[in-house]
Structure 1
Amino acid sequence: MQRKQWMRLQAVPLAAILLLTACRGHGTGNSLVTSGGAAEPKKEVHFSIAYAAGDPATKQAIAATIEAFMQAHPDIIIQDSSELSSSAYLDWLKLKDAVGEFPDLVEIRDTDAFASAGKIVELPSGLLELFDNLPQVNGKVWNAPLFVSAPQGIIYSKQAYARAGITRLPQTYGEFLDIQKKLKAVGMTPLVVGAKDIFHLGFWVNKFLIDEVYDKDPDWNAKRTAKQVSFTDHNVVQAMTNFKELFQTDVNEGWLSTNDNQTASMLTSGKAAQLYSGTWMFSQIEEADPGFEYGFYALPDRSGKRNVVGLPSPTGWSLSAEAAKDTEKTEAIKEFIRFFFAPEPYSKFLAGINGLPSTKEKITYDTGEQMQEALKLMADPDVTKSLMINNWWGDNLIPPDFRNWFYKLLEEMILTDGDVTEYMNRADREYDRQVQDN
């Protein structure tokens, strides 16, 4: 098979998305000069940090930034307590809290829950100026967003498409299903799914929920909490029927025992022709096979409309309430956040995950054709931007434990070939129970 080297293209000038400016200077010395002229070592400050580490590219990019910060600030020691795991991040954080090890600086994705429980404090006012469009929860900003939500879509092998005679990207979901038939006809597994990591299952679940539900009704969650809509309504049943049918016919047989971090190698090795995921996978694919030729596109709905994840949400670095009681620790954490989002380290971080910047400062990095397609989607006013079921907030917040329960329910539905409406009845009952408990 012919290979070509990965092309690096000049960064696209999307002023609303990519930003670049000079980094504001901060002292990096590790000593103090006394009035007598003698230097004294700065007092060491230690703090712990945690983040969702299920994606290897993000884990590596954050770890590299932490290492660079400690080299520049030898008096500040950061304990990275994150670890790669197939368990849900929210459950992991709850466990850390239960054993008295809740991190000092933590990536929070369930801001309502942790803010209401008094586990985190508002983002310090001196950091607010770094960002654009910060969502508020209960009228307050709690997070320094690591990046803007990136669109998800089909990452496909160009060789596989050529082998199956596919010369045109699908314009509707029906055409996408036709492509799956063509791939199977030449003996290929159409799609790889890494559902051993529960969050990976959510990519497909939310693809169909956004198409059938949130595209037309962004406040559906709030209406469900108020019992004005139901999981048994036609639109939700249709979404989950699409999900069930796809998984029963077009995904790899071992999808439930496949890790998310295995999907890139399965794609590049030809064990599957496509992967539905986000832009953070691009670097993993290139690392698995630098010469692998692949494309990226937003999967249209049945009418041909393109809807993607892409709205800002209240997630990101948050300062724990316990750490906020320690002035020295708080100042060290603020220094790290300023460093993290400064142009040079932040551009390296974003390049490592093919991410979209959340800062006001203009950040640029070289992008390939796949990332440029993602940027075009974000800039296209005809592409609906939405959120996953658990990323809404305020009145649209769902119970914190419902997402994982729902995903596991859907796994059972597929494995048992269960009736979709019956399973959505179960979802209604559980949702109401969790709302009452919370």
Structure 2
Amino acid sequence: MNRVVPALAAVCVLGLAATACSDASGGSTGAAPTSSVDATASLKGVKLTMWVAQNSVGEPKQAIEAFEKATGATVTTEVIPDPYESNVPTKLASGVKPDLMFWQPTGSTLPFIQPATNLLQLDNEDWVSKLGKTEQSLGQVDGHRYAAIVTSPAVLGVYYNKDAFAKAGITTMPASYDELLADGAKIKAKVPGVAPFFEVGGDKWPLQWQVQAQLTDLPQSFWDDLNKNKESWTNKVIVDAITKYKTKLLDAGLAQKNYKTATFVDQGKALMDGTAAMALNVTSLQSEIQATSDTAEMDKKLGWFPIANSSASAEYSPDQTNGVVAFKSGDTKRENAARQFMSFWLGPNYANYIKANKVVSVEPSVANPAGLPQTAIAQSKALATATGVFQVKALTAPDMHLALADMIYGKKTPKQVAQAAEDQFTQVLKARGVAGF
């Protein structure tokens, strides 16, 4: 799932105290002296550990098994209980470190594990130049790379039921958020019994996406100023986006009746059975549907299109399965083995890995595996011109979805949702000692 990081919970109050709350490097850089790695060199007797989340335990399986067979190394996965993004910093603060770990490769989330202090620099690895443009932009903090990008970031857009669109007479996909809402109103009027949108108040985290899609016209200068404490989450554009979501979609009856309690799993089922026409969500919804539906059924029933506030463009949102980091252990043999594992994963093994996991390629020179649903192919094409969600652009990502959940239950106004984001943003960056806060 593409849940967002609980920002405040993961910062210094969880035990990353004292020196861990600063960005000082403390010790060696862990930088690789060379970019050339023999990905299949013998590592007999070398043992590595890799931390994974409960929902990503199967993701590295093919890469691990192939690496062990090719090199003789042993890679043991350890599941960190949910919430992963909170429990990982807590465990690191206790002094325990793995050799490798899944972690969200964004500038808002990498700092939680103090990369300059804890992680190997990956600036010169042989796989960096193989990555696509968007993927190359991820995994970096303060000018250094700390994460290998093994899967493409989740893409935010609209999944739609083809039959519902046909019944509503919609043949041209909307090219702005206002057009999207207009199509929702058309579906409500012309297709009785079908909810224009399926919203997920029960799991909360997908509530943010309707707002995120509306923030795409904010210039980079806004985010630059926000990160210097010269702008605020209470900016009128953000408050207006939250207000529009509430008044023009939810209050206007464009969501299903049980939107306050419905779940992520319910969303996929409703799209496939046609009781809902649209869902604005990230790639994890596609993965959820793939678990119970084959490609042919998905292609028959579902379509996908990108949407932004004033254009037909997508957004991308990295999650923890996109990035792999390697820790400084002081054991050169294990550190080099971790580098070799990444080179193997993104090198000779990559085509096999994406085929086994049925995901799109992050390397333009490696073709997507056959049999992907058309929704996945459409998302892959949209990624090249997609813009990052606020988890990518802000120094830390507030848990806006939690405040939006309060809003749908009448506990917060749109302005109070924005203020909650501002308060948390400021508090986390103060705790991290970021200049200006």
Q: What is the TM-score normalised by the length of structure 2?
A: 0.73
Q: Using the TM superposition, give the Cα deviation of residue 254 of structure 1 relative to its aligned residue in structure 2, in angstroms.
A: 4.5
Say which of 135, 141, 144 aligns to 1:140. Answer: 144
Query: In structure 2, what is the equivalent of residue 306 of structure 1?
Result: 312
Q: Does 1:329 align with 2:334?
A: yes
Q: Deviations over 1:367-388 (max 9, x none)?
A: 4433343344345xxx5x3212
Q: Using the TM superposition, give the Cα deviation of residue 75 of structure 1 relative to its aligned residue in structure 2, in angstroms.
A: 3.5
Q: Matches of residues 33-432 of structure 1 in structure 2 within 5 Å?
A: 42-43=44-45, 45-51=46-52, 54=55, 60-82=58-80, 85=82, 87=83, 89-109=84-104, 110-115=109-114, 118-123=117-122, 125-127=124-126, 129=128, 131-132=130-131, 134-135=136-137, 136-185=140-189, 186-194=192-200, 196-197=202-203, 199-210=205-216, 212-213=217-218, 217-245=219-247, 246-248=249-251, 249-255=253-259, 257-290=261-294, 291-292=297-298, 293-301=301-309, 303=310, 305-310=311-316, 316-321=323-328, 323=329, 325-346=330-351, 348-349=353-354, 352=357, 354-357=359-362, 359=363, 361-366=365-370, 367-379=372-384, 383=385, 385-392=386-393, 396-398=394-396, 402-404=397-399, 406-416=400-410, 418-432=412-426
CA RMSD of aligned residues (A): 3.4
Secondary structure, counterpart of 2:369 in structure 1: coil
- In 2 relative to 1, CA 106–196 (structure 1 residues): closer, same or farther, beyond 3 Å? farther
- Please say if residues 194 and 201 of structure 1, whose CA atoms lie closer than 8 Å, have aligned partners that are also in contact: yes
Q: What is the TM-score normalised by the length of structure 1?
A: 0.73
- Please say if residues 153 and 297 of structure 1, whose CA atoms lie closer than 8 Å, have aligned partners that are also in contact: yes
Query: In structure 2, what is the equivalent of residue 436 of structure 1?
Result: 430
- In 2 relative to 1, CA 342–255 (structure 1 residues): closer, same or farther, beyond 3 Å? farther
In 2, Cα distance between the equivalents of 1:306 and 1:235?
Answer: 19
- In 2 relative to 1, CA 281–72 (structure 1 residues): closer, same or farther, beyond 3 Å? farther
Task: Name the count of aligned residue pairs.
Answer: 377
In 1, Cα distance between the equivalents of 2:259 and 2:345?
Answer: 36
In 2, Cα distance between the equivalents of 1:425 and 1:397?
Answer: 17
In 2, Cα distance between the equivalents of 1:260 and 1:309?
Answer: 19
In 2, Cα distance between the equivalents of 1:235 and 1:51?
Answer: 37
Secondary structure, counterpart of 2:427 in structure 1: helix
- In 2 relative to 1, CA 161–52 (structure 1 residues): closer, same or farther, beyond 3 Å? farther
Q: Deviations over 1:233-288 (max 9, x none)?
A: 22111121123333443334555554435532332233433222234544543442
Q: Using the TM superposition, give the Cα deviation of residue 338 of structure 1 relative to its aligned residue in structure 2, in angstroms.
A: 1.9
Q: Deviations over 1:343-374 (max 9, x none)?
A: 544454267353341x4743442344333433
Secondary structure, counterpart of 2:153 in structure 1: coil
In 2, Cα distance between the equivalents of 1:266 and 1:64?
Answer: 32
Q: Deviations over 1:303-332 (max 9, x none)?
A: 4x13322499997211123x3x12232233
In 1, Cα distance between the equivalents of 2:53 and 2:358?
Answer: 14
In 2, Cα distance between the equivalents of 1:429 and 1:29?
Answer: 52
Amino acid at match of 1:123: L
- In 2 relative to 1, CA 254–188 (structure 1 residues): closer, same or farther, beyond 3 Å? same
Secondary structure, counterpart of 2:281 in structure 1: strand
- In 2 relative to 1, CA 125–201 (structure 1 residues): closer, same or farther, beyond 3 Å? same
In 2, Cα distance between the equivalents of 1:189 and 1:279?
Answer: 21
Question: Mind listing any 5+ residue stretches in structure 2 that lack a counterpart?
Answer: 1-36, 433-437
Amino acid at match of 1:153: G
- Please say if residues 157 and 273 of structure 1, whose CA atoms lie closer than 8 Å, have aligned partners that are also in contact: yes
In 1, Cα distance between the equivalents of 2:66 and 2:205?
Answer: 29
Q: Using the TM superposition, give the Cα deviation of residue 155 of structure 1 relative to its aligned residue in structure 2, in angstroms.
A: 0.8
- Please say if residues 360 and 380 of structure 2, whose CA atoms lie closer than 8 Å, have aligned partners that are also in contact: no
Secondary structure, counterpart of 1:190 in structure 2: strand
- In 2 relative to 1, CA 254–207 (structure 1 residues): closer, same or farther, beyond 3 Å? same
In 2, Cα distance between the equivalents of 1:225 and 1:360?
Answer: 32
Amino acid at match of 1:338: S
- In 2 relative to 1, CA 407–316 (structure 1 residues): closer, same or farther, beyond 3 Å? same
Question: Mind listing any 5+ residue stretches in structure 1 that lack a counterpart?
Answer: 1-23, 31-41
In 1, Cα distance between the equivalents of 2:51 and 2:201?
Answer: 23
Q: Using the TM superposition, give the Cα deviation of residue 116 of structure 1 relative to its aligned residue in structure 2, in angstroms.
A: 5.5
Deviates more, 1:248-257 or 1:165-174: 248-257
